[in-house]
Amino acid sequence: MEHQESYLKVVFEFFGVTEVRYVRAEGVATGDAAKAAALEEARNSMLSVVCN
């Protein structure tokens, strides 16, 4: 995952976006219950980033 984040950072900086935060949704391929929990955690992380 680190390679993707580094690549995206360079791309965003090229366009002038210097403050980037990443929210991961890990565990979405391990079953419905785990997927729901992972997406809920990612959603909460996004809300904390956006609202603060």
Indicate whether 12 belongs to any domain: no
pLDDT category of residue 27 using cuts at 50, 70 and 90: confident
Report which of residues 16 and 26 the model is more confident about. Answer: 16
Q: Does residue 33 lie in a domain region?
A: yes
Reply yes or no on whether the pLDDT at 2 is more than 80: no
Is 17 within the bounds of a domain? no
Residue 34 domain-assigned?
Answer: yes
Number of structural domains (the chain) is 1
Range of the domain at 37: 23-52
Assessment of whether the complete model's pTM goes beyond 0.85:
no
Distance of CA 36 to the CA centre of its chain: 16
Residues 6+ apart with CB under 8 A from 39: 25, 28
The pLDDT value recorded for residue 10 is: 92
Look at residue 15 and tell me if it is in a domain. no
Q: Where is pLDDT greater, at 11 or 22?
A: 11
**pLDDT for residue 1:** 58
